[in-house]
């Protein structure tokens, strides 16, 4: 009896276990066959994390491979407001505000948002990051992000431009070459554990394609010399603005390009449009007497004059149509060479009359005025040159001496290069090479010849005349101590809002090349509204002198160092 009962119970228990066993098997089969996809998807979401891999933005180097713009890793502070209580939020806002140099109310408003994630501060300094980490706030975290940094602060500011918070180029070369510099983002799915901690057992990875590096034609040392001297002139003469261009006339490579006022590239937040503007390529102005080199070169090339052709300069007063021309000093008879040396307006207008409006216009265009030169930086303008059919009766007197025409400083620099290099118009450019991360050259930009403007003989004759300007004429203050140089001064009256020429607003300019026998650099200096002195020969020529001297010494030393290194 006892045994029978025991057996029945055992059988019942066995049946019960079997029932649950088959129930479990049935459930497993159901899950496996009908719910597997859904559950696998949920598991995948829990275990795997999709992350975007940020590419590293390319570095910008000068021609000696010194970095001008680099990317560094900074930490950004975020909060998870949903995980914070009211008291915690208040405490965090109170303690972080002085650390981040932000308003407490600003932080409080961000923490009050009903969101799972908010940024508190982007790309804070390492010291700030360390201090915040030490506070060990719950619900406050940091994410690493890269930030564009410029080791030379204000150097080359308008040319380099800057990149925004998301590493996209916003100005200058950073904008123009953004496609090369920014690279392509990648992505990866990585495992994460129960604590959401990342575990690099990658299933799939598409690596980020880092941006390419740019190698500029700019030389950091030349740029520094140019900016140092330009700053002095800008400060001394209380100018409204100033520009300087140093170009290699043989190749069209820009060695330096600077403008004033400038700005600190590391603090682009509070910068005015005036500071950002690249005046050397964006601003058009009437060039004044520096433009006489175009008239003179055209007349020589067309054999209308020679150096000894004599012109009567009307003792300083000459009437053309209803306009009276004046020279800054009365002259009688002057040879063609002296007309340029003494910068006689009357003499130059007479030269232009021999040449005729059509020929003059043709040469102005051939020198590259009135059209973009195609420099690789945004913002270049055409300038303004009217065709002869739109000229007034006085235009033949005004255009040759740089009135009624609008040019940029860059156009003046390339025009001067034509004379300095033997008559060839070279396209100006800023980027020499594009390189990948391994240093392989991806793209190389060679010098580009646009056209031949003058014969080599005419260019040589013009060079001699311009040397005379420095030796005997208006450019004496630009004369170099150890090198020979040629150049031309210019003092242009600015236009008043009523359309007449101003008597207290001038643009002082000087352009020159050196050494005269084999020009290595052509330099253009323009100073906008200098006070109290405003003559190009007084304000801009000394800048040329100091820059040319220092740059030539530096280039000679560099050449010697390179030769010595190659011998070793």
Partner 1 sequence: MRLPRFLLVCLSATALSLMYVWQQTEVFHLAYTGQKQLVKFEELLDENSSLRYNLTRKTSLTRMGTRVAANTEFRMPDNYCLVKVPLSGKEFKAANGRLPRKETLFARMFGIKRQAEARTVNTSDAFAVRIAGDLNIR
Which amino acids are annotated catalytic? 289
Nearer Cβ to partner 1 (146/493) = 146
> Residue count at the site for partner 1 (CB under 8 A)?
30
**Nearest CA-CA partner of 326 in 528, 491, 533:** 491
**Nearest CA-CA partner of 361 in 323, 400, 418, 394:** 400
Part in contact with partner 1 (CB under 8 A); list of ranges 111-119, 151-159, 283-291, 486-494? 151-159
Q: Does 554 bind partner 1 (CB under 8 A)?
A: no
Q: How far is the CB of 226 from partner 1 (least distance, A)?
A: 11
Q: Does 232 bind partner 1 (CB under 8 A)?
A: yes
Nearer Cβ to partner 1 (219/314) = 219
Region of 303 (left: φ > 0; alpha: ψ -120 to 50; beta: rest) is left
Part in contact with partner 1 (CB under 8 A); list of ranges 108-116, 192-200, 268-276, 559-567? 192-200
Q: Does 446 bind partner 1 (CB under 8 A)?
A: no
Q: How far is CA 31 from the centre of its chain?
A: 63
Q: How far is the CB of 280 from partner 1 (least distance, A)?
A: 19
Nearer Cβ to partner 1 (439/499) = 439
**Nearest CA-CA partner of 428 in 455, 448, 408:** 448
348 is written with which tokens?
């130059």
Taking the CA of residue 519 as centre, how many other CA atoms within 13 Å lie in the half-sphere pointing to its CB? Answer: 32
Nearer Cβ to partner 1 (75/171) = 75
309 is written with which tokens?
């052709």
Nearer Cβ to partner 1 (259/342) = 259
Contact indicator for 161, 281 with CB cutoff of 8 Å: no
Question: What ranges make up the beta strands (E) of 453-514?
Answer: 486-495, 501-514
- Nearest-angstrom CA–CA distance, 457 and 422: 8
Q: Are strands 213-216 and 60-61 parallel, antiparallel or unpaired?
A: parallel
- Nearest-angstrom CA–CA distance, 489 and 534: 11
Part in contact with partner 1 (CB under 8 A); list of ranges 195-203, 287-295, 367-375, 518-526? 195-203
Q: Does 127 bind partner 1 (CB under 8 A)?
A: no
Q: How far is the CB of 186 from partner 1 (least distance, A)?
A: 16
**Nearest CA-CA partner of 506 in 338, 290, 254, 203:** 290
Part in contact with partner 1 (CB under 8 A); list of ranges 220-228, 245-253, 286-294, 387-395? 220-228
First-to-last alpha carbon distance for the chain, in angstroms, is 112
Q: How far is the CB of 152 from partner 1 (least distance, A)?
A: 5
Eight-class DSSP state of 344: -
Nearer Cβ to partner 1 (127/517) = 127
Q: Does 369 bind partner 1 (CB under 8 A)?
A: no
Say whether the peptide bond before residue 532 is cis (omega within 30 degrees of 0). Answer: yes
Nearer Cβ to partner 1 (149/450) = 149
Positions in 464-493 near partner 1 (CB under 8 A): 481
Place of tokens 């491979």: 65
Q: Does 393 bind partner 1 (CB under 8 A)?
A: no
Q: Does 434 bind partner 1 (CB under 8 A)?
A: no
User: What is each CA distance from 240 to 283, 508, 528, in whole angstroms?
Assistant: 13, 12, 5
Nearer Cβ to partner 1 (67/139) = 67
Q: Does 546 bind partner 1 (CB under 8 A)?
A: yes
Could you say which of 60, 70, 96, 425 contacts partner 1 (CB under 8 A)?
Answer: 70
Nearer Cβ to partner 1 (227/327) = 227
Q: How far is the CB of 209 from partner 1 (least distance, A)?
A: 19
Q: Which helix (H) or strand (E) holds 285?
A: none
Q: How far is the CB of 159 from partner 1 (least distance, A)?
A: 15
Q: How far is the CB of 227 from partner 1 (least distance, A)?
A: 8
Q: Does 200 bind partner 1 (CB under 8 A)?
A: yes
Contact indicator for 465, 337 with CB cutoff of 8 Å: yes
- Nearest-angstrom CA–CA distance, 471 and 234: 26
Could you say which of 12, 43, 72, 135 contacts partner 1 (CB under 8 A)?
Answer: 72
- Nearest-angstrom CA–CA distance, 65 and 216: 9
Q: Does 236 bind partner 1 (CB under 8 A)?
A: yes
Burial 323-343 (b: 16+ CB within 10 A, else e): eebebeeebeebbbbbbbbbb
**Nearest CA-CA partner of 183 in 160, 200, 206:** 206
Could you say which of 52, 103, 153, 559 contacts partner 1 (CB under 8 A)?
Answer: 153
Nearer Cβ to partner 1 (153/443) = 153
Could you say which of 111, 121, 124, 155 contacts partner 1 (CB under 8 A)?
Answer: 155
Could you say which of 152, 295, 414, 509 contacts partner 1 (CB under 8 A)?
Answer: 152
Part in contact with partner 1 (CB under 8 A); list of ranges 104-112, 217-225, 306-314, 373-381? 217-225
Binding characters for partner 1, 501-540, by CB under 8 A (x = yes): ----------------------------------------
- Nearest-angstrom CA–CA distance, 356 and 468: 26
Q: How far is the CB of 472 from partner 1 (least distance, A)?
A: 19
Q: Which helix (H) or strand (E) holds 512?
A: strand 501-514
221 is written with which tokens?
């040392």
**Nearest CA-CA partner of 174 in 216, 132, 217:** 216
Q: Which helix (H) or strand (E) holds 125?
A: none
Could you say which of 252, 287, 468, 542 contacts partner 1 (CB under 8 A)?
Answer: 542
> Which residues contact partner 1 by CB under 8 A?
66-67, 70, 72-73, 126, 144, 149, 151-155, 191, 198-201, 220-221, 224, 227-228, 232-233, 235-236, 481, 542, 546
């Amino acid at each position: 009896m006892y045994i029978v009962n025991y057996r029945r119970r055992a059988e019942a228990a066995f049946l019960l276990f079997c029932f649950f066993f088959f129930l479990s098997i049935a459930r497993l089969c159901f899950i496996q066959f009908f719910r597997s996809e859904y559950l696998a998807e949920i598991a995948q979401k829990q275990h795997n994390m999709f992350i975007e891999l940020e590419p590293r933005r390319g570095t910008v180097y000068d021609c000696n491979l010194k970095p001008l713009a680099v990317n560094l890793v900074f930490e950004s502070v975020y909060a998870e407001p949903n995980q914070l209580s009211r008291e915690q939020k208040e405490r965090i806002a109170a303690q972080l505000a002085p650390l981040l140099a932000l308003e407490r109310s600003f932080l409080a408003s961000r923490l009050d948002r009903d969101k799972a994630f908010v940024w508190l501060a982007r790309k804070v300094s390492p010291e700030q990051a360390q201090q915040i980490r030490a506070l060990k706030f719950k619900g406050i975290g940091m994410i690493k992000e890269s930030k564009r940094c410029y080791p030379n602060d204000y150097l080359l500011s308008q040319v380099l431009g800057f990149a925004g918070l998301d590493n996209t180029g916003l100005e200058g070369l950073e904008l123009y070459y953004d496609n090369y510099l920014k690279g392509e983002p990648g992505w990866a799915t990585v495992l994460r554990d129960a604590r959401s901690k990342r575990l690099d057992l990658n299933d799939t990875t598409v690596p980020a394609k880092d941006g390419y590096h740019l190698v500029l034609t700019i030389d950091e040392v030349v740029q520094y010399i140019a900016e140092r001297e330009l700053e002095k002139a800008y400060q001394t003469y209380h100018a409204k603005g100033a520009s300087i261009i140093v170009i290699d006339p043989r190749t069209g490579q820009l060695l330096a390009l600077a403008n004033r006022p400038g700005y600190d590239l590391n603090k682009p937040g509070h910068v005015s449009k005036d500071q950002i503007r690249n005046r050397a390529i964006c601003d058009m102005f009437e060039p004044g007497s520096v433009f006489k080199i175009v008239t003179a070169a055209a007349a020589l090339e067309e054999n209308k004059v020679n150096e000894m052709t004599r012109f009567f300069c009307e003792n300083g007063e000459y009437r053309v149509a209803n306009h009276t021309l004046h020279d800054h000093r009365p002259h009688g008879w002057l040879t063609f060479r002296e007309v340029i040396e003494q910068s006689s307006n009357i003499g130059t207008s007479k030269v232009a009359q021999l040449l005729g409006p059509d020929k003059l216009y043709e040469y102005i265009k051939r020198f590259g005025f009135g059209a973009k030169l195609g420099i690789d930086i945004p913002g270049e303008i055409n300038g303004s040159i009217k065709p002869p059919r739109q000229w007034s009766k006085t235009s033949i007197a005004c255009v040759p001496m740089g009135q009624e025409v609008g040019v940029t400083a860059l156009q003046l620099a390339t025009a001067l290069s034509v004379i300095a290099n033997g008559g060839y118009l070279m396209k100006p450019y800023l980027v020499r090479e594009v390189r990948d991360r391994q240093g392989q050259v991806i793209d190389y930009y060679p010098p580009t010849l646009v056209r031949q403007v003058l014969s080599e003989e005419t260019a040589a004759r013009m060079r001699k005349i311009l040397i005379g300007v420095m030796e005997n004429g208006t450019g004496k203050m630009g004369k170099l101590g150890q090198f020979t140089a040629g150049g031309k001064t210019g003092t242009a009256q600015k236009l008043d809002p009523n359309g007449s020429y101003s008597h207290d607003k001038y643009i002082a300019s000087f352009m020159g090349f050196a050494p005269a026998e084999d020009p290595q650099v052509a330099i253009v200096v323009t100073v906008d509204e200098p006070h109290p002195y405003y003559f190009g020969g007084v304000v801009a020529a000394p800048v040329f002198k100091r820059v040319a001297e220092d740059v030539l010494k530096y280039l000679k030393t560099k050449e010697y160092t390179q030769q010595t290194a190659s011998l070793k």
